[in-house]
Amino acid sequence: MACYLTTGKHMSIYWSVLTVLSLLAITAPTALAFGFAGASAARSRIAPLSWLGRGYVAIVRGVPDIAFFLFFVIALDQMIEWSRHKILCPEWTDPIRQGNDFIVCSAAKMPLGTAPQWVHEAYGFSIAIFTFAIVFGAFAANVLFGAMRAVPRAQLETAESYGMSPRQTFWRVLVPQMWVYALPGLSNLWMVLIKATPLLFLLGIEDIVYWARELGGLKTSRFTDYPHGDWRMQYFLALLVFYLIFTRLSEIVLARLMTRLTRGQATTAGEAQRKAA
């Protein structure tokens, strides 16, 4: 059994766990940055910028998220290839969309047809990350926008009466205080992000779902030293347990973070902490 679990092929499922974790590690800050930009834009006093921010938040509502994932992966890919095509091959005159085909010159292919395998994989992975960041950035923007509005108006008025400029008020008063209001929403979002990682499989990444199906499938002794029956159920049970542990741990960590952040804040929980101390 120990031998079976450490075969070369089996190691790839452990690597794919790392893929999932690194996706989370990269996407979470990126999506937060997108969300912050979106929320600040939505608050902006310049009307077009505000529309842009609000539109970004509003556009992900009402539509299933997987549809977004499937859409953005192709759309982003085509956008990149299209712009590279326009820049690199200006002499090309044929239309890009010919019936059911999307044809760009070979220099504009992304990644280049001659590139090694790992470039292809890295490209696919970064497109996937970008897609996740766009979709979750909109959700985060929604949360942060609400949090910015939840900061008591009096706090901002006090800052203004001290003569702070709008920019100073935003960075020195609003932003430090909004996190405590944003955290419940953001931790919910983090949970959702964890639970969205298996969708990577739909984006064509060889993630844990892919390997669980691959390795769990029926193996005969002709192909492997360790023949076994259909173990896909067991593999997916393991994945289920993995995700359960992961979400449970996150819950505990986020609860601790919440107690840290409420310290000294003008909220009911902050007040309760002050009294207890």
Site size toward other proteins (CB under 8 A) is 46
C-beta neighbour count of 65 within 10 angstroms: 14
Task: Tell me whether residue 277 is exposed, middle or buried, using C-beta atoms within 10 angstroms of its C-beta: 0 to 12, 13 to 18, 19 or more.
Answer: exposed
Does residue 247 bind other proteins (CB under 8 A)? yes
Residue 144 near other proteins by CB under 8 A: no
- Residue 93, SS3 per DSSP: coil
Tokens of 247: 């979400």
CB of 73 to other proteins, least distance (A): 8
Site for other proteins in 64-103 (CB under 8 A): 64-67, 70-71, 74-75, 78, 97, 99-102
* Binding of other proteins by 147 (CB under 8 A): no
Give the residue, chosen from 8, 48, 62, 90, that forms a contact with other proteins under the rule CB under 8 A. 62
Shortest distance (Å) from residue 23 CB to other proteins: 14
Question: What stretch of H or E contains 98?
Answer: strand 97-98
Among 131, 197, 205, 262, binds other proteins (CB under 8 A): 197
Amino acid at position 129, single letter: I
Q: Is 204 an interacting residue with respect to other proteins (CB under 8 A)?
A: no
The DSSP line for 124-141 is: HHHHHHHHHHHHHHHHHH
| Token pair of 9 as six digits | 């092929």
Closest to 138 measured CA to CA, from 275, 32, 218: 32
230 binds other proteins (CB under 8 A): yes
Minimum Å gap between C-beta 55 and other proteins is 14
- Rounded distance, CA 125 to CA 200, Å? 9
243 in contact with other proteins (CB under 8 A): yes
DSSP 219: B
Query: Using the rule CB under 8 A, is 18 a contact of other proteins?
Result: no
Question: Least distance from C-beta 144 to other proteins, angstroms?
Answer: 14
Nearest to 213 by CA among 225, 226, 202: 202
Q: From the list 24, 239, 258, 269, which residue makes contact with other proteins (rule: CB under 8 A)?
A: 239
Residue 142 found at the interface with other proteins (CB under 8 A): yes
Q: Shortest approach of other proteins to residue 172 CB, angstroms?
A: 30
Sign of the CA dihedral running 126, 131, 134, 135: negative
Min dist CB 159 to other proteins, Å, is 29
Q: How far is the CB of 227 from other proteins (least distance, A)?
A: 18
Residue 202 binding other proteins, by CB under 8 A: yes
Q: What percentage of the chain's residues is helix, strand, coil (to nearest 5)?
A: 75, 0, 20
Q: Are 16 and 122 a contacting pair, CB within 8 Å? A: no
> What separation, in Å, do the N-terminal and C-terminal C-alpha atoms of the chain show?
53
- Asked if residue 210 binds other proteins (CB under 8 A), the reply is no
Residues that bind other proteins (CB under 8 A): 60-67, 70-71, 74-75, 78, 97, 99-102, 139, 142, 188-189, 192, 194-199, 201-202, 209, 212-213, 216, 230, 232-233, 236-237, 239-240, 243-244, 247-248
